[in-house]
Amino acid sequence: MTEPKVVRMTAPTLRDVAQLAGVHPATASRALNPQTRPLVNADTARKVLRAAESIGYQPNPIARSLKTARSSTVGLVIPDLTNPLFPPIVRGIEDVLTPAGYNAWIVNTDNDPGREETQVESLRSRQVEGLIVATARREHPLLQRLHQSGVRMVLVNRRVDGLELPSVAADDDAGIAMAVAHLAELGHTRIAHLAGPQQTSTGVARARAFRHAMIDNGLTDDPALTVECGYWSESEGAQALRKLLDSGARFTAVVAGNDLIALGCYDVFAERGLTCPDDISVVGFNEMPFLDKMRPPLTTVAIPHYEIGVESARLLLDTLEDPERHPRSVLLAPSLVVRASTAPPK
Amino acid sequence: MTEPKVVRMTAPTLRDVAQLAGVHPATASRALNPQTRPLVNADTARKVLRAAESIGYQPNPIARSLKTARSSTVGLVIPDLTNPLFPPIVRGIEDVLTPAGYNAWIVNTDNDPGREETQVESLRSRQVEGLIVATARREHPLLQRLHQSGVRMVLVNRRVDGLELPSVAADDDAGIAMAVAHLAELGHTRIAHLAGPQQTSTGVARARAFRHAMIDNGLTDDPALTVECGYWSESEGAQALRKLLDSGARFTAVVAGNDLIALGCYDVFAERGLTCPDDISVVGFNEMPFLDKMRPPLTTVAIPHYEIGVESARLLLDTLEDPERHPRSVLLAPSLVVRASTAPPK
DNA sequence: AGCGGGGCCGCAATCGTTTGCGTTGTGATG
DNA sequence: CATCACAACGCAAACGATTGCGGCCCCGCT
């Protein structure tokens, strides 16, 4: 004989729990919440817990958010999920947010400020408690406004000019220095830089680091050997390299602003019958997946993606629990992964 | 003289709009909603709209969700964002959801059923209106339950045994057939298959298609030449190939269950001093990014990722607006991209 | 003039929680 | 025995929107 069971189409609510436990919903609420549990008698608390358990009660986060104006949710603002840089970062973020009782809401902006604005608006209206932003440009009115209106956020990989915000990134200086030193050791003297967009802090930081590193290695930094890319993309990288080659400049190696830019170079090599590293050495930045299987395997600066995610989530949690805390930024050490795209010049 | 402006820290609500427009909140609500706007006088509607505009009113989705038990949000359940297969699909999904007024909430399951369960639970409690699921296994109690409790969903790339659900995927049969035909034309006769996990519909579909294709091409399908991978991953692909090589089986080509499995083969080639395609040809499936830059560039079956996303979102919207509609499934035509990982056998 | 019928709009309940405040009951104290 | 403190709990008002129902007014008809 199967127990006759009333099927309710709607999920059990706090009322149901209270009724079952023979208490008022308010009491049930207090009993369920560890924070307020001391306010109710231990016995009744047990009763409530048991009742909740028995009917599989799950609090309704929507109702809770409405009342508390909190959501246990943070927003991740990402320029392009298609960029393999981000998934591991996201993973790291989720791995610290989840145990802390938070959920992450991922939005794509496609590098489009308009889209970014509406996406962020939608996040805010859903009461996200903070933002992790990977789309920062040096001039970023939106972020300025958000910061002024008290939105908690942390930046990843980027900074905004004149805005003191917690941020986490790889140590660009160190990374570029390693790349240049590596090439210098191989004997390269004329090294080009395909810089990332100079509207991004990362783009300028790496370009600056490149100049310094050249000097530190006793090489001359020829401005004609630095070309800026409009985006951090393959096609922009290819464009930039074509421009450089067409200019007639002489160079035997290039350090690219990131891996995608470096891979763009591969396309140009194929177009023009150049071979890497025999004709030109190239080193990337970021260590995206599958580089070891490229042709040739790309030498690059590896950064700890997952840890970047982890750290940024931690920073956000910190500022959530103590908004007054002085903004802390963390720099993570990169490392050089030498593969077959770099060799001594001919 | 600057206009004295009252700064309110809290976002404007419907009440504020109503007050400003000199009407009752109910009227304001009706005026704001295009659906119910005909119920109010055109003039007052205009007044309300203007008022809303002037104070920058944005409806609070949380309050709305609480009342309507809807959320204009759908969940995307993805096994692993790190797999480059998914970002373009996500992009396609968002591109149709956004104009339709929906938002997407992405969750990762890491192929872990437990994690999947809690993630889905969290989605449901946030009143998502439907699910797009890319994690389906052939036996999938969770999805069975969800379906029974009336959750609307569509499957992407996968199916569940005995469950009539809308789904969208590439035409695995056609894709595998093209791959095998290509190898056969090159002169291969002993072709191996590194199959995907047989708990996934895709895994078995491709394995079956492989057998059929072998026969159709007048080749013999030797069961000893098919090895199953536990996951759709590089390492599993490598494992499977090692097993095959160690078994002493003779073969000159392999069709891999997907690109990652194929790339796993590359690792084994390096380990054992084999060269591709001279010693062994390999063809992948999915056309993930950057394959053209691999060593060697991987021949693969290209599937229209973006369109898969687009179609799955459309299907979901369809079932949302007419839940009774008979489940429709769409198959998208793949195409073969021949690169340098395939060549005639020596 | 009386009556019916729309068109518009307001009232108030509701969604499921949280929380300030008030009430009750108990034990301890003067 | 009256009083007080305090623990434990209930009451009811929020949070911000949506929506069935009913009231009001005005118009047209007989």
Residues 6+ away with beta carbon under 8 Å from B157: B134, B168, B169, B170, B202, B308
Residue at a domain's end among A286, A303, A320? A303
Query: Which tokens hold the place of A164?
Result: 């003191």
> Within this chain, do residues B89 and B22 fall inside the same structural domain, yes or no?
no
Interface test with chain B among A96, A103, A126, by most B beta carbons within 10 Å: A126
Q: How many Å apart are CA B53 and CA A293, to the nearest integer?
A: 55
Residue A188 lies in a domain: yes
Determine, yes or no, domain membership for B1.
no
Q: Read off the CATH number of the domain in which B208 is found.
A: 3.40.50.2300
- pLDDT at A324 (0 to 100): 83
User: Quick check: is A342 in a domain?
Assistant: no
In angstroms, rounded to a whole number, what is the distance separating the alpha carbons of residues A329 and A13?
A: 43
> pLDDT tens digits for B281-303?
999 999 999 999 999 999 999 99
Predicted confidence at residue A276, as pLDDT, reads: 97
Give the number of other Cβ atoms within 10 Å of residue B127's Cβ: 18
Q: What 3-state class would DSSP assign to A140?
A: coil
Q: How much of chain A, in percent, has pLDDT values that exceed 90?
A: 88
Q: How far apart are CA B84 and CA A302, in angstroms?
A: 19
Confidence of residue A321 (pLDDT cuts 50, 70, 90): confident
Q: Kindly give the pairing relationship between strand B335-337 and strand B299-302.
A: antiparallel
Close Cβ partners of B162 (under 8 Å, ≥ 6 residues apart): none
Say whether both B292 and B219 belong to one domain. Answer: yes
Distances (CA, A) of A335 to A88, A173, A194, A259, A271: 17, 12, 20, 14, 31
What's the number of CA atoms in the CB half-sphere (13 Å) around residue B284? Answer: 32
Query: Both A111 and A150 in a single domain?
Result: yes
Task: Tell me if B82 and A294 make a contact (CB, 8 A cut-off).
Answer: no
pLDDT band at A8 (very low <50, low <70, confident <90, very high): low
Looking at residue A239, the DSSP 8-state letter turns out to be H
Higher pLDDT, B101 or A278: A278
DSSP state of A129: S
Q: How many domains is chain A partitioned into structurally?
A: 3
Above 50 in pLDDT, residue B74?
A: yes
Inter-chain residue contact B87 with A87, CB threshold 8 Å: yes
What are the CA-CA distances from residue A106 to residues A78, A125, B101 (Å)? 7, 15, 17
**CATH number for the domain including A31?**
1.10.260
Determine, yes or no, domain membership for B345: no
Count of helix runs (H) and strand runs (E) in chain B:
12, 12
pLDDT band at B321 (very low <50, low <70, confident <90, very high): confident
State yes or no: pLDDT of A306 exceeds 50: yes
**Across residues B219-238, what is the average pLDDT?**
96
What residues contact A322, with CB distance under 8 A and at least 6 apart?
A: none
For residue B346, what pLDDT band results from cuts at 50, 70 and 90?
Answer: confident
Q: What pLDDT, in 10s, does the model give residues A167-187? A: 999 999 999 999 999 999 999
pLDDT bucket at B2, cuts 50 / 70 / 90? very low
* A280 in Cβ contact with A252 (< 8 Å): yes
User: For residue B37, is it within any domain?
Assistant: yes
What chain A residue is nearest to B8 in terms of C-alpha separation? A149
The DSSP output letter for A198 is: T
Asked if A180 contacts A214 with a C-beta cutoff of 8 angstroms, the reply is yes
Pick from B71, B82, B294: which is nearest to A295 by CB? B294
Task: Evaluate if residue A116 carries a pLDDT over 60.
Answer: yes
A29 lies in which domain range?
14-59
Q: Which residues touch strand C (CB under 7 A)?
A: A 10-11, 13-15, 25-26, 29-30, 32-33, 36, 57-60, 63-64, 66-68; B 23-27, 39-45, 63, 66-67, 69
Q: What is the pLDDT of residues A201-254, one digit of tens each?
A: 999 999 999 999 999 999 999 999 999 999 999 999 999 999 999 999 999 999
Task: Return chain B residues 62..121 having CB < 7 Å to nucleic acid strand D.
Answer: 63-64, 66-68
Amino acid B262: pLDDT: 98
Is any Cβ of chain B less than 8 angstroms from the Cβ of A270?
A: no
Whether B297 is covered by a domain: the verdict is yes
DSSP H helices in B167-282:
172-186, 201-216, 234-246, 259-272
Nearest to A65 among B62, B294, B296 (CB): B62
Instruction: Find out whether B161 and B204 touch, Cβ atoms under 8 Å.
Output: no
How far in angstroms lies nucleotide C17's C1' from the CA of residue B109?
A: 29
Residues A180/A242, Cβ–Cβ less than 8 Å: no
What is the per-residue pLDDT for B8?
Answer: 52
pLDDT confidence bin for B38, thresholds 50/70/90: very high
Residue A251 lies in a domain: yes
* Partners of residue B75 in chain A, C-beta under 8 Å: none
Distance B200 CA to C14 C1' (A): 45
Q: Over 90: is that where the pLDDT of B125 sits?
A: no
Clarify whether residues B299 and B187 are in a common domain: yes
A34 lies in the same domain as A101: no
Which tokens belong to A275?
A: 């071979």
Shared domain check, B229 and B267: yes
**Measured distance CA(B195)–CA(A152) in Å, rounded:** 47
**What is the count of residue pairs from A and B with beta carbons less than 8 Å apart?**
84
Residues from chain A contacting residue B58 (CB–CB below 8 Å): 121, 125
Say yes or no: B190 and B277 in one domain.
yes
Q: What's the pLDDT tens digit per position in B238-271?
A: 999 999 999 999 999 999 999 999 999 999 999 9
Residue A322 pLDDT: 86
Q: Is residue A112 part of a domain?
A: yes
Same domain, B110 and B88: yes
| A306 in B contact zone (CB under 8 Å) | no
Pick from A4-8, A16-20, A253-257, B295-299: least confident: A4-8
Instruction: Output DSSP code: residue B252.
Output: S
Cβ within 8 Å of residue B108, ≥6 positions away:
A90, A91, A94, B78, B79, B80, B81, B115, B119
Residues 6+ apart with CB under 8 A from A99: none
Whether residues A157 and A220 share a domain: the answer is: no
Residues B289 and B318 in one domain: no
Is A125 near strand D, with its CB below 7 A from some atom of it? no
Cβ of residue A23 lies below 7 Å from strand D: yes
Mean pLDDT (whole number) for A128-139: 95
User: Can you read off the two tokens belonging to residue B321?
Assistant: 């607006």
Record the tokens describing residue B201, joined without a space: 């519909």
Same domain, A243 and A99: no
CB contact under 8 A, A62 and B60: no
Of A60, A81, A296, the CB nearest to B125: A60
Mean pLDDT of chain A, nearest integer: 94
CA-based nearest distance B149→chain A, Å = 9
A322 strand-pairing partners: none
Q: Are residues A78 and A190 in the same domain?
A: no
A158-168: pLDDT as tens digits = 999 999 999 99
pLDDT score of A4: 40
Mean pLDDT of chain B: 94
Cβ neighbour number for residue B331 with a 10 Å cutoff = 14
- Nearest-Cα distance to chain A for B83, in Å, is 9
Least confident span in A60-64, B89-93, B155-159, B321-325? B321-325
Which residue has 């010049």 as its token pair?
Answer: A345
Q: Distance (Å) from the C-alpha of residue A298 to the closest C-alpha of chain B?
A: 10
Q: List, in order, residues 6 or more apart from B98 with CB less than 8 Å away.
A: none
